[in-house]
Amino acid sequence: MSNERSRTRIAPRLVVLALGAACLLAGLDAALVRLSLPALVTGAELAALHGPLMLVGFLGTVISLERAVAARASWAYAAPAASALGCLLLLAGAPQPVGRALLVISAAALCAIYLRVHRRAPAPAVDVEAMGALALLLGNLLWLRGFPLETVVPLWLLLPTLTIVGERLELARVAFLDPAVEALVRALSAAAVLGACFMVVWPTARLATGPALAGLAVVMAYHDVARRTIRADGGVRFMAASMLAGYAWLAVAGLTWSLWGFTGLAGAGYEIIVHAIAVGYAFSMILAHAPVIIPAIVHRRLAYHRAMWVPYALLHAGMAVRVGGLIADSAGIWQAGGALGVAAILVFMALSLTRVVTSGGIASPGGRPGGPLPGRRAAAGGAL
């Protein structure tokens, strides 16, 4: 009976996770099309959906799924399900208002999740994460109204940025963080959101968002326990290295946003900012947190393996090559960097799937398979 209840509870998570993975694979295919490299599926329509598939279809779905699991409410799964389905419907050629409306519903459900969490346990970390959800909701509303992607992408980028900052802030609070630092992080997060909102009508507002993101990178990197655990061995060192590298790319995005904006560096600013956050920062943090988050969702172990350094190296080498190619205005170097990034994500997906399938299940403290992941916050705080 316990095993049956466990399968019943985990099955919807696996379905939603598969939909998010489909968005990711489609987004990677679209990335190859945009890079003018060989791809399984081609077409201008697919290439145009690269950003929504990656930022909303994948990152939005995964973040919403993790929050839905934590909320322990069946209605919360509307957030990740609508996020993935909305993007996949757009990919399938459904009317634009239908797919985009589903994305609005998804973001609204995510905001409702944070409202529930805030009522249950108010904290600065929850406020920061909720700001990212609100930015996503506003971006989706603007896209539904017909605003171009260049207008809504700055808002979309704040979802993974502030979600990760909030998660790290929560873990740091358990360890040693001063309340004054929490207040500073919350203020910087608010400045980033307000700047992105005002950019819709006032492009100079980037001078609020850019420095705020750079400030978040510096403050979080300085206070994150990863600065100390980088001297450890094995999986702990891998997680710390992934997080510190992620903060570095967030700083690059913040500085580029501050100094040149999306149209600077002869048009390369947009590419640098978007990929420094969505790939260099967000995916590096996914590498770091996957051994904690994936088991919490699927109740299967994801043990560290030395092979995990392969996607890490490919990811950050690819980002460095990509940025270098953009600055040098070299299409060949830019393409090589993009190809390395796609390879890094595919290798990570294959490695994670293999490790999860071949690993054992996780039992609850009472011995019931599929129960809540024991000591998740404590384990993450101690290891990371």
4: confidence class by pLDDT, cuts 50, 70, 90: low
Mean pLDDT, residues 189-195 taken together: 97
pLDDT at 382: 39
Task: Express each pLDDT in 215-260 by its tens digit.
Answer: 999 999 998 989 999 999 999 999 999 999 999 999 999 999 999 8
Task: Express each pLDDT in 64-89 by its tens digit.
Answer: 999 999 888 899 999 999 999 999 99
The secondary structure of 115-137 as a DSSP string is HHHHHHS--HHHHHHHHHHHHHH
pLDDT at 62: 96
In the chain, which ranges are continuous DSSP H helix? 2-34, 44-48, 50-52, 61-71, 78-91, 96-120, 124-144, 149-175, 179-198, 206-223, 226-229, 234-259, 269-275, 282-298, 309-328, 331-358, 376-383
Sign of the C-alpha dihedral computed for residues 151, 60, 133 and 260 taken in this order = negative
Which carries the bigger pLDDT value, residue 175 or residue 190?
A: 190
Task: Express each pLDDT in 101-139 by its tens digit.
Answer: 999 999 999 999 999 999 988 999 999 999 999 999 999
Per-residue pLDDT at 299 exceeds 80: yes
What backbone torsions phi and psi does residue 203 show, to the nearest 5 degrees? Answer: -55, -30
**Rounded Cα distance, 177 and 187, in Å:** 16
Mean pLDDT, residues 277-286 taken together: 97
From the number of C-beta atoms within 10 Å of its C-beta (0-12, 13-18, 19+), residue 86 rates as buried
Q: In this structure, are residues 138 and 119 in contact, taking their beta carbons and an 8 Å threshold? A: no
Per-residue pLDDT at 10 exceeds 90: no
**Rounded Cα distance, 343 and 277, in Å:** 18
State whether residue 361 is helix, strand or coil: strand
What does the block give as tokens for 320? 């460095």
The reply to whether the predicted model has a pTM over 0.85 is yes
pLDDT at 264: 74
Non-local CB neighbours of 175 within 8 Å, separated by 6+ positions: 225, 381
pLDDT at 367: 37
Tokens 């170097």, residue located = 333
What does the block give as tokens for 59? 């990152």
Chain CA centroid to CA 19, Å? 16
Per-residue pLDDT at 185 exceeds 90: yes
pLDDT at 173: 66
